[in-house]
Amino acid sequence: MGSQPRAVIFGLAGPFLDSAERSFFAAANPLGFILFARNCDSPEQIAALTGELRRCVRRADVPVLIDQEGGRVQRLKAPQWRAAPPAGRFGTLHERDAAAAIEAAWLNGRLLAADLQPLGIDVDCAPVLDVRVPEGHDIIGDRAFGGSPERVAKLARATCEGLLAGGVLPVIKHIPGHGRATLDSHAALPVVDAPADALQRDDFAPFSALADMPLAMTAHVVYAAFDPAAPATTSATVIRDVVRGRIGFDGLLISDDLCMRALAGAPGERARAALGAGCDVVLHCNGDLAEMRDVAAACAPLSAAGAARLARARALLQRPAAIDRAAAGRRLAALLNGPVTA
C-alpha cells in the first residue's frame, strides 16, 4: 500500500483528462474526484473517465463524487438519465402520507444509486438536511425536504438507506445547517444570528438524527452564536463544539467547495484554513489547474483519524442487489402522484 492520499477532492476541466491533468493528479495523489455536468457526456464516457481517474492515482478504491440530488441539482441530466424529483416533493407527500413518503424517498435513493454505481461513481453529495425556513435564501428552497426537522430527518434517512442499498455512499449536507442563511454562499458569506437554542432545536436536529452517516459536507455559513468571525468550514469552534460535539458527527467531514465566494483568501489559504479548523478533506471543484496546484501544496496527507473515518465509510459499500428500474420508477411515480395503494 502506497502513501496516504492527500486530503483533497478535485474537480476536472472536461469529459476527458488531458496530459497536464493526468500528470498533476498522479503526482498530487488526491483522496478523490468530483464530477460535474461538464465532465459527463454519456454512460460509456463516464465509466471510462472514472476508471482512468482511479488508474491515474493507482488506487482502485478512490472515491468519485457527484451532486445528484434531483430537481435543480443533478449533474446527470435528462433525457439520458432519469429526472429525479426535488426533495421538496417528498416533504409535500409526507404531509399527507408519511409512510408513502418514506417509501418514495427510499426508492428515489435506490434509483439514484442505480444511475451512479454502474458508472463508477460511488459517492452522492446528497441528501440535503437543511431545514427550510421562509426567510432563507432560495439556494436551498426545494432542495430541502421541508420545514420540519423531524420530517427532514426521516426522509433524509430513507434516502441515505436507498443510496447505501444501491452501493453508493451518501453525503449529508450542509452541516450544521444552511436553511436559515439569507445569502447564497456561492456568491457571498451568509451570517446566521439565531440563538444557540434555536439552532440546536431546529437546524442541528436532522444532522444529530443522522450523525451515524459516514460522510458530511460543511456549510460556508457564519453561526454568530458560536463563532462570529468564521464560517463553519474554517471555524475550529464550530467543528469541535457543534459538528463533533453537539451534533455528534464522527464521520468523514468534507468542506463545501473552496471556490465559493463565501470564503476569503487564495485557494491554498482556504484549504489550510479548512483543514486547520478540523475538516478531514477539502473539496475544490472548478478544475482550474493553477488553483489545484496551490491547493495541493497546502494539503497534507489524510490524517490518521480521517483515514479511519474513510475506512468506516468504505466498509458500508456493498454490491447492490438487482433492481427492476422500470418497476421501481412506476412505483415511485404512483407514490408521488397518488392516490397511494398498498
Per domain, the residue ranges of the chain are 82-273+326-336
- For residue 311, give every residue at least 6 positions away whose Cβ sits within 8 Å of its Cβ, in sequence order, or none: none
Q: How far is CA 32 from the centre of its chain?
A: 13
CATH topology of domain 82-273+326-336: TIM Barrel (3.20.20)
Q: What are phi and psi of 81, to 5 degrees?
A: -125, 165
Check 227, 256, 257, 280 and give the catalytic one.
Answer: 256
Residue type (1 letter), 237: T
Check 18, 61, 138, 186 and give the catalytic one.
Answer: 186
Q: Are 175 and 210 in contact (CB under 8 A)?
A: no
186 is catalytic: yes
94 is catalytic: no
Looking only at Cα atoms, what is the longest distance across the chain? 57
Q: Which of 278, 220, 284 is nearest to 249 (CA)?
A: 278
Q: Answer whether 0.75 is exceeded by the pTM.
A: yes
Q: What are phi and psi of 172, to 5 degrees?
A: -80, 135
Rounded distance, CA 182 to CA 49, Å? 37
Q: Which of 332, 304, 280, 283 is nearest to 103 (CA)?
A: 332
Cα radius of gyration (the chain): 19
pLDDT by position in tens, the chain (length 342)? 347 999 999 999 999 999 999 999 999 999 999 999 999 999 999 999 999 999 999 999 999 999 999 999 999 999 999 999 999 999 999 999 999 999 999 999 999 999 999 999 999 999 999 999 999 999 999 999 999 999 999 999 999 999 999 999 999 999 999 999 999 999 999 999 999 999 999 999 999 999 999 999 999 999 999 999 999 999 999 999 999 999 999 999 999 999 999 999 999 999 999 999 999 999 999 999 999 999 999 999 999 999 999 999 999 999 999 999 999 999 999 999 986 444
